[in-house]
Amino acid sequence: MEFYIIIAIIAYLAFAVNGVIDKFLLKKAIPQPATYAFYIGTLSGFTVLLIPFGFSIPRASIIILAFISGALFIYALTAMFSSLKYAEASRVLPTIGAIVPFVTYVLSFFILNERLSRVESIGFLLLIFGMILISFDAKEKAKSHHWLMYACFAGMLFALSFTLTKVVYLDQAFISGLVWTRFGLVLGALSILLIPSARKGIFKTTGQVEKPTGILFFAGQIIGAGAGITQSFAISLGSVTVVNALQGTQFGFLIVITAMLSRWHSKILKEDFSKSAVVKKVGAIILITLGLVLISL
């Protein structure tokens, strides 16, 4: 096995661990999704430490796009965390993972005039089928499908954020573009304070956060940041197609991790591991992975 593949798998394992930590904190310690997103956004302000290593001031239009991209990312996180409160991480994250490339293509179709090849079209169909398979549960009540609404909204916002971020990076070097988009994350986080209920929740939670919760939160953010850097390193070493296709391992890791942890925290990490549920989840992950492979070719 090539070294960059091992690096990519490690990155997706870290992403899976980060997703489980998010689920745990949202269920137990930081119950309001907006509060959790606010903390993550404000931490992005530390990217100012990168300014000495490569920073430039672009034209106003790029700055605006960077701010919008960052703010949309915060709103996408809020929607994703809202979805995680309603449903299993092993359903939410693969669903968002299928929606993002689909919406990204739709945006590229109209904005960049991109068109799909026959193979890519098959890939997108597989993504759709995989998303439908993992999200559908005949036993769920109608109100229980709130998670799917939030997941779809999160996927759309992530896709729009990633598309705008790409535009910023076409104009700016990596560090400069990263700093400007992170400024947008901070602005997005601060905008949450404009919502009275969210503001009240943030101030209330901030005063009640216990030390173990704070440690777990920062550990999750470090793991998430490390996963992103490791993924980028894998892409720099090898095929971006293979690295993107390996995202399916993240969803597989999610099932394994939640299966193990559910034994000790069944009320918090409540997952359905009946035979039919596992078969459905694995089948959906295979479809989504194949779809990612085909659209990456």
CA distances from 156 to 56, 121, 123 (A): 30, 19, 18
Q: What tens digit of pLDDT does each residue of 206-216 get?
A: 666 677 777 88
pLDDT number for residue 254 = 82
Q: What is d(CA 161, CA 268) in angstroms, rounded to the nearest whole number?
A: 30
* Residues whose CB falls within 8 Å of the CB of residue 163, separated by 6 or more in sequence, listed in order: 104, 107, 108, 111
Q: Which residue in the block uniquely carries the two structure tokens 């992103």? A: 228
pLDDT number for residue 235 = 66
DSSP string, 7-27: HHHHHHHHHHHHHHHHHHHHH
Q: What is d(CA 18, CA 32) in angstroms, rounded to the nearest whole number?
A: 18
Q: What is d(CA 277, CA 211) in angstroms, rounded to the nearest whole number?
A: 36
pLDDT number for residue 60 = 93
CA distances from 293 to 104, 124, 241 (A): 16, 10, 7
pLDDT number for residue 114 = 66
Residues of the chain with pLDDT under 70: 1, 111-116, 135-144, 206-209, 232, 235-236, 239-242, 244-245, 263-273, 296-297
**Residue boundaries of the structural domains of the chain:** 3-296
CA distances from 245 to 33, 83, 207, 233, 257 (A): 29, 24, 42, 15, 20
pLDDT number for residue 189 = 93
